[in-house]
């Protein structure tokens, strides 16, 4: 699911005129997407985009804080105090967006400003999303991106992922067309 969501996001960025690199491996870490858009006479617009596209989330985006894990708590434990949620989000943001290796690579690609962005679908906790945003992370919703792709008011009408987007939209249209005529299973 994650790779498919990344492909959707990459197509969205490409259609906006961004050049992208997806799935950059840095040891055990990865950057989902970097995107750069060049404009005549201006500095490029540079974006670091991470994608978390769960359909049925059973846990938080972030992990239980390291200190709590040292006491034997599972990293993805659903039970968290408000303090643990705040601390876990801070650690997650640091590792996902500010890790030294990631920042060094982005500095090599462009030494200017990079935005930090997160694309999400369904989440366990909207409070967690708010905490992530408080760290300066720009939040995008995957359904909004899919809607934008369907409207397609972009300078580039299709890129490498256009076949996948066409299939996605064809499936959505087929389902919508079939719904009114489908017999009701509820009685």
Which DSSP symbol is given to 123? -
As beta bridge partners, residue 37 has 45
Instruction: Give the closest residue to 170 by CA, choosing from 154, 185, 149, 155.
Output: 149
63-72, 88-97, 102-111, 177-186 — which is least confidently predicted?
177-186
Q: Is residue 187's pLDDT more than 70?
A: no
Say whether pLDDT at 155 is over 80. yes
Residue 1 pLDDT grade (very low, low, confident, very high; cuts 50, 70, 90): low
Inform me whether the pLDDT recorded for 178 exceeds 60: no
Average pLDDT, the chain: 89
**CB-hemisphere CA count at 13 Å for 92?**
25
Question: Tell me: the pLDDT tens digits for 100-147?
Answer: 999 999 999 999 999 999 999 999 999 999 999 999 999 999 999 999
Whether the Cβ atoms of residue 30 and residue 23 lie closer than 8 Å to each other: yes
Residue 175 pLDDT grade (very low, low, confident, very high; cuts 50, 70, 90): low
Q: What is the pLDDT of residues 32-68, one digit of tens each?
A: 999 999 989 999 999 999 999 888 888 899 999 999 8
Nearest to 50 by CA among 24, 16, 75: 24
pLDDT at 159 over 90: no
Can you give the pLDDT at residue 75?
86
Helix (H) or strand (E) holding 51: strand 45-52
The CA distances from residue 163 to 3, 6, 7, 57, 148, in Å, are: 15, 14, 11, 28, 16
Indicate whether 179 pLDDT > 60: no
Q: How confident is the model at residue 76, as a pLDDT? A: 87
Position with higher pLDDT, 182 vs 1: 1
């Amino acid at each position: 699911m994650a790779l498919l969501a990344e492909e959707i996001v990459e197509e969205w960025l490409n259609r906006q005129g961004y050049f992208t690199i997806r799935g950059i491996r840095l040891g055990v870490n990865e950057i989902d997407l970097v995107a750069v858009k060049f404009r005549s006479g201006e500095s490029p617009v540079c974006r670091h985009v991470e994608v978390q596209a769960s359909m049925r989330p059973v846990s938080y985006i972030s992990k239980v804080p390291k200190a709590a894990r040292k006491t034997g708590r599972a990293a993805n434990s659903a039970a968290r105090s408000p303090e643990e949620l705040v601390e876990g989000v801070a650690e997650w943001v640091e590792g996902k967006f500010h890790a030294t290796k990631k920042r060094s690579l982005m500095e090599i690609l462009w030494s200017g400003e990079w935005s930090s962005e997160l694309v999400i679908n369904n989440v366990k906790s909207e409070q967690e999303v708010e905490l992530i945003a408080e760290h300066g992370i720009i939040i995008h919703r995957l359904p909004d991106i899919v809607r934008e792709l369907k409207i397609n008011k972009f300078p580039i009408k299709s890129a490498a992922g256009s076949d996948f987007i066409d299939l996605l939209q064809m499936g959505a249209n087929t389902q919508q067309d079939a719904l009114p005529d489908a017999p009701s299973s509820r009685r």
